[in-house]
Structure 1
Amino acid sequence: MTSRVLIVDDQPLIRGGLTALCRAAPGLEVAGEAADGAEAVRLSESTVPDVILMDIRMPELDGIQATRQILAAGREPAPRILILTTFDLDEYVYTAIGEGASGFLLKDTPPERIVAAIHTVAAGEMLISARITHRLVETFSRHHRTTLARHRRLDVLTPRETEVLRLVGNGLSNQQIAERLVLSEATVKTHVKRLMAKLDLSSRAQAVVVAYESGLIVANT
């Protein structure tokens, strides 16, 4: 299956390099290129990409605002958004995850890993390791609150779903959660799917943010 990729970066050299990389990679097709967030929003509507490589700091409309607008459009299935950043510990990245981005890539990531990352998020997986996720969340959740958790009430969840959310927030995979709770992995997947639907979450990374910002998990001090 071929994944269509929209490439968004205000630096022509980086944008051109990513375009050439995606065109040469099996299973990827370049849906378009955008030089800023506003153009990304327009092209997302017209080209219907599966994955968007989104620079985070751009003039006119930054990657966070563009991510918010693209996902708010309600397209089904929603495009998977990979944030491009220079720093692996960045408040902008944290905010973008809260807005629904599926992960992030450092701009100096080797080409083969960029291609693998695109395929990973296209398949619906989160592209942030538990270690990086927790570094981001623990660093910023005490000082910075996204709009995400303010509008999510955990009382809509069953006790089991709340427990699964807590374990997701702690970085456990579905298999690890199944072992911890003595459930089948299929049952855990169902719980994760239901809690994400109830909380209107578009990515597992968002679930981690909600688990911390709602107080379900307390960041280390």
Structure 2
Amino acid sequence: MVIVDDHALLAESLELALNFEGYDARRVELPEEPPSETKLVSLITRSQPRIVLLDLDLGQHGSGVRLIAPLARAGVDVVVVTSSTDEPDWGHALHAGARTVLSKTMPLGEILGTVRRLNHGLSVLDVEDRERLIRAWMGQEQRIIEIRRRLDQLSPRESQVLEHLMGGLTVGEIAKLRVVSEATVRTQVKSVLAKLGVSSQIAAVSIAHQADWRAA
């Protein structure tokens, strides 16, 4: 059994508890320089683990979600243990092939109980819960696709204005930076809001961040 988590304290606690339970568990020491996905998967599967406890947030190594599918294809049962409480994040992990998703706030005994059930070939997640969480992720994905479609409708200048708003600049500051009148910037902001279907600059900035958008 392998534990993949860049938070050393939790990883060490899980390693000690699992070994105390009689499992052959070890933590994977993540390299200082992030390797390719292939090399990272190879590092994790080197000992041919049956179960991998995987965090979703691996710091500089990026999202753990990208590792789930290749690990599952290698015959590994992936159990995600995450601090995220976002249901679409959980659904994304399940859609990628994770057997279940557990919260880091869950008592250690419950995490061990899940590993125990999985090790005995028992179900660790209700079908209804799995489907509900995957639907939550798919719904979010569709919303992001729609947001990106709207963002693509922005003109180059409107895109620049939105990017400045995302950087925390005011209308006055944007006008000085672009050497135009505040009235011109306000007109462009109004057009941005109309195209994005929102009523405030805060909402426009929020959905742009949700879509991980940047001006071309």
Q: Which residue of 2 aligns with 1:46?
A: 46
Q: Choose between structure 1 and 2 for higher RCO, CA contacts under 8 A separated by at least 6 residues.
A: 1
Q: Which residue of 2 aligns with 1:55?
A: 55
TM superposition shift of 1:115: 1.1
From 12, 16, 35, give the equivalent of 1:16.
12
Q: Does 1:121 align with 2:122?
A: no
Q: CA deviation digits over 1:17-67, x for unaligned, max 9?
A: 1111111113x1114424478575133331111100000011224211111
Q: CA deviation digits over 1:96-126, x for unaligned, max 9?
A: 1111110011102112211111122233344
Q: Structure 1 CA distance, aligned partners of 2:17 and 2:102?
A: 15
Q: Which residue of 2 aligns with 1:155?
A: none
Q: What is the TM-score of this pair, normalised by structure 1? A: 0.53
- RMSD over aligned CA atoms reads 2.5
Q: Structure 2 CA distance, aligned partners of 1:50 and 1:89?
A: 27
Q: 1:23 to 1:69 in 2, by over 3 A?
A: same
Q: Structure 2 CA distance, aligned partners of 1:141 and 1:92?
A: 10
Q: Do the aligned partners of 1:31 and 1:49 also contact (CA within 8 Å) in 2? A: no
Matched to 1:63, the amino acid is G
Q: Do the aligned partners of 2:95 and 2:134 also contact (CA within 8 Å) in 1? A: no
Q: CA deviation digits over 1:144-192, x for unaligned, max 9?
A: 26xxxxxxxxxxxxxxxxxxxxxxxxxxxxxxxxxxxxxxxxxxxxxxx
Q: Structure 2 CA distance, aligned partners of 1:124 and 1:97?
A: 18
Q: Secondary structure at the match of 2:45?
A: helix
Q: Structure 2 CA distance, aligned partners of 1:137 and 1:70?
A: 19
* Structure 1 segment 1-221 matched on structure 2, within 5 A: 5-26=1-22, 28-35=23-30, 41-58=41-58, 59-72=60-73, 75=74, 78-130=75-127, 132-144=129-141
Q: CA deviation digits over 1:128-151, x for unaligned, max 9?
A: 235533441342333326xxxxxx
Q: How many residues end up aligned between the 2 structures?
A: 136
Q: Secondary structure at the match of 1:29?
A: coil
Q: Do the aligned partners of 1:34 and 1:43 also contact (CA within 8 Å) in 2? A: no
Q: Structure 2 CA distance, aligned partners of 1:129 and 1:10?
A: 29
Q: Secondary structure at the match of 1:84?
A: strand
Unpaired segments ≥5 residues, structure 1: 146-221
Q: Which has the larger radius of gyration?
A: 2
Greater helix content: 2
Q: Structure 2 CA distance, aligned partners of 1:63 and 1:125?
A: 24
Q: Structure 2 CA distance, aligned partners of 1:16 and 1:53?
A: 12
Matched to 1:79, the amino acid is V
Q: Secondary structure at the match of 1:47?
A: coil
Q: CA deviation digits over 1:190-210, x for unaligned, max 9?
A: xxxxxxxxxxxxxxxxxxxxx
Q: Structure 2 CA distance, aligned partners of 1:80 and 1:11?
A: 21
Matched to 2:120, the amino acid is A
